[in-house]
Amino acid sequence: MRSIAVFSVKGGVGKSALAVNLAHAAATLSARRTLLWDLDTQGAATYTLRLAARGDLSARKGIAEGELAPLIQASDFPALDVLAADKSLRHLEKQLVEAEKARRLKKLIRAFDKDYDRVILDCPPGLTELADQVFRAVDLLVVPMLPSPLSERAYAQLLDHLAKHHKWSPTGTAPAILPVFTMVDRRKALHRDTIAAHPERLCIPYAAAIEAMATTRLPVLVKSPTAPAARALAALWTQVERVLTKLA
């Protein structure tokens, strides 16, 4: 099993949209047994896959007690399950800090080893205690960012944080990091210039097909399989798999 977190310090950069599409691609394009774990109390990924939290259970309690199986739901797609977000996650930060169990999340993800090939986390934004737990737990961070100097700055801050607090180095310990430009609009000079400085990074276009997910509640590869955004998302998934294969 390999685990992937879609993470960024900044909010509103397309994390949840990527998490849903990557999870769907993992299950359908690569036939991986996939779990999408929605860790953001907003529940955008859960909602987009036409699911809702089970009212009788609490995700926060499941995390505290190591009892996550009852919280997992099947999606409309074969091989894709979802661990839904709910309101209890509002108090997750406090719980993680108080519990002083720095590797709680890592342990929980490891427990999925038997049942899943890919676990994909949709994270809330920010360098929080939850983020630190995610950094200790996953094999790969996919980091969406707008092509702008401020996003570059936030990305540099993330790398700095990883180096200082997680003994991370670009060639050394996990997690691997895959930065991705999102909401790309090549009509904008700022976007073109920022992208030109990083030609190795994949670009996800600013696309109506992605924006529409909030209303269609379907992954882009289902609703608009021939759209340029669908090709970009499939290419991103291929790159993710390539990075995962290279990990020891």
Ligand X SMILES: Nc1ncnc2c1ncn2[C@@H]1O[C@H](COP(=O)(O)OP(=O)(O)OP(=O)(O)O)[C@@H](O)[C@H]1O
Residues of this chain that interact with ligand X (CB under 6 A) are: 11-17, 40, 42, 44, 124-125, 182-183, 204, 206-207, 210-211, 213-214
Residue 44 near Mg ion by CB under 5 A: yes
- Please, what is the minimum distance in Å from the beta carbon of residue 172 to Mg ion? 29
Q: Which one of 3, 8, 16, 194 is in contact with Mg ion (CB under 5 A)?
A: 16
Q: Which is nearer to ligand X, 7 or 112 (CB)?
A: 7
With CB atoms as reference, the residue minimizing the distance to Mg ion is 16
Q: Which is nearer to ligand X, 33 or 135 (CB)?
A: 135
Q: Which one of 2, 15, 60, 191 is in contact with Mg ion (CB under 5 A)?
A: 15
Q: Which is nearer to ligand X, 33 or 207 (CB)?
A: 207
- C-alpha–C-alpha distance, residues 30 and 241, integer Å: 9
- Please, what is the minimum distance in Å from the beta carbon of residue 185 to ligand X? 9
Q: Which is nearer to ligand X, 12 or 70 (CB)?
A: 12
Partner interacting with residue 83 (select from Mg ion, ligand X, none; CB below 5-8 Å by kind) = none
- Please, what is the minimum distance in Å from the beta carbon of residue 214 to ligand X? 5
Partner interacting with residue 33 (select from Mg ion, ligand X, none; CB below 5-8 Å by kind) = none
- C-alpha–C-alpha distance, residues 49 and 196, integer Å: 34
Instruction: Give the 3-state secondary structure of residue 190.
Output: helix
- Contacts of residues 208-214 at CB distance under 8 Å and 24 or more positions apart, as own/partner, are 210/14, 210/17, 210/21, 213/17, 213/20, 213/48, 214/48
Q: Token pair of 96, please?
A: 């993680």
Please name the residues in contact with 82: beta carbons below 8 A apart, sequence gap of 6 or more.
35, 36, 37, 38, 45, 46, 49, 51, 72, 73, 74, 75
Q: Across the chain, where does the E strand assignment appear? A: 2-6, 34-38, 72-74, 80-83, 118-122, 140-145, 176-184, 203-205
Residues that bind Mg ion (CB under 5 A): 15-16, 44
